[in-house]
Structure formats: structure tokens, C-alpha cells
Amino acid sequence: IAEKKASVTSDPLPIVNIDSAMISQLLQNVIGNALKFQEKGVAPRIHLSAIRGRNEWIIQVTDNGIGFDMKHADRIFQVFQRLHPVDTYIGAGLGLSICKTIIERHQGRIWVKSERQRGSTFYFAIPDEIKPTKLSQEENRSDALGENQPIELKKVRPNFGT
């Protein structure tokens, strides 16, 4: 953040029912992308806010980055999908797919609104209550990445580490 001379600001954020390590990872990925996908010579501006939805909090992360054409909005959440050549912007195309997995594990939703040269806003909805799910033994055995393991939920306030 300091190296890029970025401004990261936040409105007061709510306390949400989410695994604290996972929300930290999610914010690192989204803010990291906001810092990375920036016009050369432009200081990144990133702002976090929240709005109350019906039975959920919707966290918003808005940036002044390069943005993208909305026809790619679903694709960016897929594993190993990139919109730019690897020699232009480093990365493997994993960050936003990890964010999607985190939010889905918390029975929430994630989406984005973006416009080329005008930046992006990433939204993630976190429900007030997460319903327990029952996994079959077969599902547990096939869970090589630990995606179906129980998550430790705590009421936490998202913190972006500034």
C-alpha cells in the first residue's frame, strides 16, 4: 500500500458472522488486485463500505483501477482465468476464485460491477445466519482441498490491515 502510495479508506464496517482468516484472505486478494490493476502513474484509491441487505451485510470494495468490460464479469471468478497477459500483470488467476469459494462457503454471494478506465466495485454478501450443511461420507472423502471441512465462525469486523 505504501509502495504504491495508495489510499485505502473505510466507512465503519459491520460485525459479520465469518471465519476471520478467510475474510482476511478475501480482503487481501481484492485489495491486492486493486493495487495491481492500476493505470501507471495513478495512485490507487480503494474504499471499503457496507450496506445492510435483507438478512445480510453487503461489503463493497471500490477502486479507481483500470476496470474491465462487464462481459468478463463471470469469468474472473473462475480458476486460472485472466483478462491480461501474464507479462503485463503478474498472477496465476487464482485470487478471485478463492474469494468466490470463501463467500460460497459462508452461503453468501459475490459479484462485481466495472467499467474500463473507471475502476471496479466488488460486492460480497454475508448472511446473518449460516445454515449447517450435512455432507455425505463420499463428499468428505472427495474433499482434497478441505473445502467441505467445518469453518470456525466468529463475529468479526472486516479488517484490511492498514
Could you tell me the maximum CA-CA distance found in the chain, to the nearest angstrom? 53
Is 142 in a helix, a strand, or coil? coil
The per-residue pLDDT for range 12-25, each reduced to its tens digit, is 999 888 888 888 88
- Of 5, 11, 78, whose CA–CA distance to 47 is shortest? 11
The per-residue pLDDT for range 105-157, each reduced to its tens digit, is 889 998 988 888 889 999 999 999 877 765 444 444 444 445 544 445 555 66
**Residue type at 120?**
S
pTM score of the predicted model: 0.73
The per-residue pLDDT for range 70-109, each reduced to its tens digit, is 676 666 766 545 554 555 555 545 678 888 988 888 899 9
